[in-house]
Amino acid sequence: MTTTLDMPPMEAPAAAESLPEPLTEPSPELSPYKRRWPALFVILAGSVMELLDATVTNIAGPTMRADLGGGSSMIQWLGAAYTLAMTTGLLTGGRLGDIVGRKRMFVIGAAGFVIGSLLCAVSVSPETVIAARMVQGLFGAAMIPQGLGMMREMFPPRELRMAFSAFGPVMGLSAVGGPILAGWLVEADLLGTGWRMIFLINLPIGLVTVLAAMRFLPATRPIRALTLDLPGAVLASLGSLMIVFPLVQGREQGWPAWAFAMMAASAAVFALFGWYESRKNRRGGDPLIAPSLFRKRSFVGGMVTGTIYFCAFSGFSLVFNLYAQYGLGYSPLKAGLAGVPLSLGMVLGMGLMQVVGKYGRKVLHVGAAIMTIAVVAFLLLIGPGVNPWLLAPVLLATGLGSALIMGPYFEITLAGVEPHETGSAGGTLNALQQAGGALGVALLGTVFFGAADGDLTASARNTFWMVAGMIMLTFVVAFLLPKQAREGTEPVH
Distance, CA of 11 to CA of 346 (rounded, Å): 9
What is the percent of the chain with per-residue pLDDT over 70, rounded to a whole number? 87
Question: Within this chain, do residues 258 and 330 fall inside the same structural domain, yes or no?
Answer: no
- Mean pLDDT to the nearest integer, 345-362: 82
Residue 215 amino acid letter:
R
Q: What share of the chain is helix, strand, coil (3-state, %, to 5)?
A: 80, 0, 20
Q: Same domain for 203 and 330?
A: yes
pLDDT tens, 226-277?
677 888 888 888 988 888 888 888 877 778 899 899 999 999 998 998 888 8
Same domain, 45 and 175: yes
214 is a domain residue = yes
Contact 143, 109 (CB under 8 A): yes
- Say if residue 383 is exposed, middle or buried (CB neighbours under 10 Å; 0-12, 13-18, 19+): exposed
Lowest mean pLDDT among 8-12, 24-28, 208-212: 8-12
| 379/422 same-domain check | yes
Q: Is 64 a domain residue?
A: yes
Q: What confidence tier does 219 reach under pLDDT thresholds 50, 70, 90?
A: confident
DSSP 245-277: HHHHHHTTTT--HHHHHHHHHHHHHHHHHHHHH
Q: What are phi and psi of 123, to 5 degrees?
A: -65, 145
- Domain end residue (candidates: 238, 273, 308): 273
- Residue 318 shares a structural domain with residue 201: yes
Query: Does the residue 9 lie in any domain?
Result: no
Least confident of 261-275, 369-383, 442-456: 442-456
Distance CA 277, CA 281 (A): 6
Q: Long-range contacts made by residues 126-130, C-beta under 8 angstroms, separation at least 24?
A: 126/65, 126/68, 126/69, 126/70, 126/74, 126/77, 129/64, 129/68, 129/78, 130/74, 130/77, 130/78, 130/81
CA distance 108 to 93: 11
Residues 19 and 430: beta-carbon distance below 8 Å: yes
| 445 and 309 share one domain | yes
Distance from CA of residue 312 to its chain's centroid? Answer: 12
Structural domain count of the chain? 2
* Diameter of the chain measured on Cα atoms: 70
b/e per residue, 29-53, with b = 16+ CB within 10 A?
eeeebeebeebbebbbbbbbbbbbb
Same domain, 318 and 193: yes
Supply the range of the domain harboring residue 117.
36-228+286-487
Same domain for 335 and 306: yes
φ and ψ of 296, to 5 deg: -110, 125
Q: If you ran DSSP here, which 8-state letter would residue 189 be given?
A: T
Are residues 381 and 464 in contact, defined by beta-carbon separation less than 8 angstroms? no
The pLDDT > 90 percentage for the chain reads: 32
Range name among 326-335, 339-348, 477-486 with the lowest pLDDT average:
477-486
Average pLDDT over residues 285-292: 78
Is 394 a domain residue? Answer: yes
Contact 331, 383 (CB under 8 A): no
What's the whole-number average pLDDT of the chain? 82
Are 240 and 228 within 8 A, CB to CB?
Answer: no
Quick one: pLDDT at residue 232?
Answer: 85
State residue 289 phi and psi, 5-degree precision: -125, 125
Q: What is the pLDDT of residues 407-421, one digit of tens each?
A: 788 778 877 777 666
417, 290 in Cβ contact below 8 A? no
Residue 25: inside a domain: no
The predicted pLDDT at position 485 comes to: 63
Which one of 244, 273, 302 terminates a domain?
273
- Ordered alpha helix ranges (H), 166-293: 167-188, 197-200, 202-216, 230-250, 257-282
CB neighbours of residue 354 within 10 Å: 11
Does 262 share its domain with 383? no
Q: What is the 3-state secondary structure (H, E, C) of 404-459?
A: HHHHHHHHHHCCCCCHHHHHHHHHHHHHHHHHHHHHHHHHHHHHHHCCHHHCHHHH
With respect to residue 395, please indicate whether it lies within any of the assigned structural domains. Answer: yes
Residue 19 has pLDDT above 90, yes or no: no
Per-residue pLDDT tens for 99-158?
A: 788 899 999 999 999 999 999 999 999 999 999 999 999 999 889 888 767 887 788 877
Are 72 and 138 members of one domain?
A: yes
Residue 27 has a pLDDT of 41
Q: Mean per-residue pLDDT for 17-34?
A: 49
**Residue 402 sits in the same domain as residue 360:** yes
Asked which of 72-86, 122-136, 216-230, 357-371 is least confident by mean pLDDT, the reply is: 216-230
Q: Are 450 and 251 in contact (CB under 8 A)?
A: yes
Last residue of a domain, one of 218, 240, 273: 273
Tell me what pLDDT residue 5 has: 37
Q: Residue 451's pLDDT is what?
A: 64
Evaluate if pTM is beyond 0.85: no
Phi then psi dihedrals of residue 165, to 5 deg: -65, -20
Same domain, 375 and 332: yes
Backbone angles phi, psi at 23, to 5 degrees: -100, 155
Residue 377 lies in a domain: yes
In a domain, 22, yes or no: no
